Amino acid sequence: MNGPVAFRVNRGRWKLFLAAAWVVLGVPTALAQTSTAPVAGKAPAPATAAAGAATAGAATTAAGATAEEDPTLGMKFDVVSVRPDKFEDRSAWSFPQDGDGLTITDFPLGAIVSSAYGDVRGLPGDVRGLPGWTQSEHFDIQAKVADSDIPAYRKLSSQQQLRMFQVILEDRFKLKLHQESKETNVYELVVAKNGPKLKEAKEGDTYANGSKFTNGQAMGSSLVPMGVGGLRAQAIPMSALAMWLSHFGAGRMVVDKTGLMGRYDFTMQWAPDESNPAPDSNQASIFTAVEEQLGLKLQPAKITVKFLVIDHIERPSEN
pLDDT along the chain (319 residues), means of 10: 47 39 25 30 32 35 43 80 81 79 89 74 63 92 95 90 93 94 91 94 75 67 76 87 81 90 90 56 74 96 88 87
> What is residue 158's predicted lDDT score, i.e. its pLDDT?
83
Task: State the Cα–Cα distance between residues 221 and 33, nearest whole angstrom.
Answer: 8
Write the CB contacts of 73 (distance below 8 Å, at least 6 apart in sequence).
56, 152, 156, 160
> What is residue 222's predicted lDDT score, i.e. its pLDDT?
73
Counting Cβ atoms within 10 Å, is residue 116 exposed (0-12), middle (13-18) or buried (19+)?
A: buried
Beta strands in the chain (DSSP E): 6-7, 49-50, 79-84, 92-94, 101-108, 127-128, 138-144, 176-191, 199-200, 222-225, 230-236, 254-256, 264-269, 296-312
**CA distance to 59, 95, 289, 318, per residue, from 295 (Å):** 43, 30, 9, 49
> What is residue 319's predicted lDDT score, i.e. its pLDDT?
65
> What is residue 57's predicted lDDT score, i.e. its pLDDT?
35
> What is residue 258's predicted lDDT score, i.e. its pLDDT?
96
> What is residue 191's predicted lDDT score, i.e. its pLDDT?
97
The reply to whether the predicted model has a pTM over 0.85 is no
Task: State the Cα–Cα distance between residues 127 and 309, nearest whole angstrom.
Answer: 6
> What is residue 273's predicted lDDT score, i.e. its pLDDT?
62
Length of the chain: 319
Write the CB contacts of 118 (distance below 8 Å, at least 6 apart in sequence).
29, 31, 124, 125, 126, 127, 308
